[in-house]
Structure 1
Amino acid sequence: MLSGPVFLILGLLVLVSAFIIGRKHLRNTRRQRLMKQPFPREWEEILRENVALYKHLPEDLRERLHGYINVFLDEKNFEGCGGLQLTEAMKVTIAAQACLLLLKGNATFYPRLKSIVVYPGAYIAKQTTLVGGIPVQTDSARLGESWNSGELVLAWDHVKQESVDIRDGHNVVLHEFSHQLDQEDGRADGAPILDQGTSYVAWARILGREYGELVEKVKKHHKDVIDSYGATNPAEFFAVITEAFFKKPAKLKQKHPELYEELKLYYKMDPLQWD
């Protein structure tokens, strides 16, 4: 016969489970409602003006993006820093590109992320490096950062510039939010959570080889469609190839066909098929 304390523990476990299930159900219900909510016409105009990729999306993805933006703006907190007064246009511009990465995959809406901090331009962050085994703290200029503690930082001037220019191959929003995807399992290692049907072995083989080749090219000062910053570490490599996948798909596929196919499997999208 079960004792009183055991019954109490079992009862508490049932209550906790019911709370978690109920909370998840309420969240999903709210998200479904937001997905169906009309998308403001003025927000569409913002996207057409500020986000070059938006104009190339197929109609079905564009409609889905509208719903995802509604959810994202409802769930995430935005904060202006360095004297920046955040506007609705800034939030919508950032949200659209963050949600672009989720359109065909498992839309978890960046579960670890709580706040997006936006500076007017490049900002100074403290950086600790080892010099002769001694930690030394220096100032470092940054355009963006992603933390698995719930915060992501962006420089607005680069957000705006790289959102409008579809040819430059850079996009700080795609870069930092791909870090969030990478960090969903608690680690920043260039290996995001993959679907069951996607082979981790193939991912490690292809991305590991491509990363190693980029490191060697950078050492020899050889240029590539993949930005040299991707040679910093595997996490930065994943972020940089995500930028290239969406902004230079033709060149990436031409120069790195296996890598392009692997990203196409992961994101479940093919930017080359867009107008």
Structure 2
Amino acid sequence: MGTTIIIFLILGLIVTGILIGPLITKQRRNRIKYRPFPPLWQAIIENKLPIYLKLAPDERRRLQGHIQVFLAEKQFIGCKGLQVTEEMKLTIASVACLLLLNERGEYFSKLRSILIYPSTYVVTETIATGDYVMEERREARLGESWSRDQVVLSWEQVEQDTHNWKDGHNVVLHEFAHQLDQEDGKAEGVPILQRKSDYPIWAQVMTVEYQQLCNDVQQGLTTVMDRYGATKPAEFFAVATETFFEKPHQLRQKHPALYELLQRYYQVDPGQWVEE
């Protein structure tokens, strides 16, 4: 009898945690979001994020709130002796949080830490090159997104990307798009969508656009999106996201269906922020 009561008590606590936990998290985040935004932070973002002042007032207010939650919940770690500054944190957070303006209520749920290297970093990969044959390769990288809990970035590349906003390359947008893609545990170019009915439309548009990019790359044609997007669907989504935010007019002109799809998902129109 005593054991049965204990089991029911434990189950009750688990259910209570499942139901109440998200509510507590939402309340805590709301308190953080509506704190006054520090003037110094405002000045840093105006200086580091070229499109910030082009956002509508409501978009800026929402972005500020998301930045505050992001900074409260994520850990920044300097690598190779790099001292992480407030400017670094705010620059990365402000770009990453552009992807959260659709108000999904999640803050890259699996992400815990952002590792920042001073510049390009080198990793060693073990790759199978044949039956029972493994080969170690050293590869230079500018950023990567881990499906578990980390994003890795080159600060030099982050700075270069924010200074050259309209070139279609942005390591922060790219890697944090991967985080959105990986929230369901799989990296396949399909983030968690709002409705079940959205998935067939997403699959149809993304498949057509991905195949077109692959074909264009094979034929050596000039493309709006970076050729790296033809690597696999997960990379296509990340590259398409970079292009959507940095080259919106070109993407809308050449790939209207893809632009509309991403506009519906991110709930923003970067064409209002970036000059033609």
- What TM-score do the two structures reach when normalised by structure 1? 0.95
Where structure 2 has 5 or more consecutive residues not aligned to the other structure, the ranges are none
Work out the number of aligned pairs and report it. Answer: 273
**Amino acid corresponding to residue 89 of structure 2 in structure 1:** K
C-alpha distance in 1, partners of 2:9/2:27? 27
User: Matches of residues 244-263 of structure 1 in structure 2 within 5 Å?
Assistant: 244-263=243-262
C-alpha distance in 2, partners of 1:223/1:6? 69
Give the corresponding residue for 2:146. Answer: 147
**Amino acid corresponding to residue 188 of structure 1 in structure 2:** A
> Cα 1:224–1:151, aligned 2, differ >3 Å: closer, same or farther?
same
C-alpha distance in 1, partners of 2:89/2:167? 22
Which string of whole-angstrom CA distances, capped at 9 and with x for unpartnered residues, describes residues 183-217 of structure 1?
00000000111111652111111101111111121
Shift of 1:131: 1.8
User: Matches of residues 220-231 of structure 1 in structure 2 within 5 Å?
Assistant: 220-231=219-230
- The RMSD of aligned alpha carbons is 1.4
Aligned with 1:193: secondary structure?
Answer: coil
Give the corresponding residue for 1:11. Answer: 9
C-alpha distance in 2, partners of 1:262/1:17? 37
Give the corresponding residue for 1:274. Answer: 273
User: Structure 1: which 4+ aligned runs deviate by more than 6 Å?
Assistant: none
Moved more, 102-111 or 235-244: 102-111
Aligned with 1:52: secondary structure?
Answer: coil
Which string of whole-angstrom CA distances, capped at 9 and with x for unpartnered residues, describes residues 132-177 of structure 1?
3423120100000101110110000110111122211111000000
- What TM-score do the two structures reach when normalised by structure 2? 0.95
Aligned with 2:167: secondary structure?
Answer: coil
The question of whether the paired residues in 1 share the 8 Å contact of 2:181 and 2:190 is answered with yes
User: Matches of residues 233-248 of structure 1 in structure 2 within 5 Å?
Assistant: 233-248=232-247
Give the corresponding residue for 2:218. Answer: 219
User: Matches of residues 1-275 of structure 1 in structure 2 within 5 Å?
Assistant: 4-133=2-131, 134-196=133-195, 199-274=198-273
C-alpha distance in 1, partners of 2:127/2:209? 27
Where structure 1 has 5 or more consecutive residues not aligned to the other structure, the ranges are none
The question of whether the paired residues in 2 share the 8 Å contact of 1:198 and 1:265 is answered with no
Shift of 1:4: 4.9
The question of whether the paired residues in 1 share the 8 Å contact of 2:102 and 2:265 is answered with no
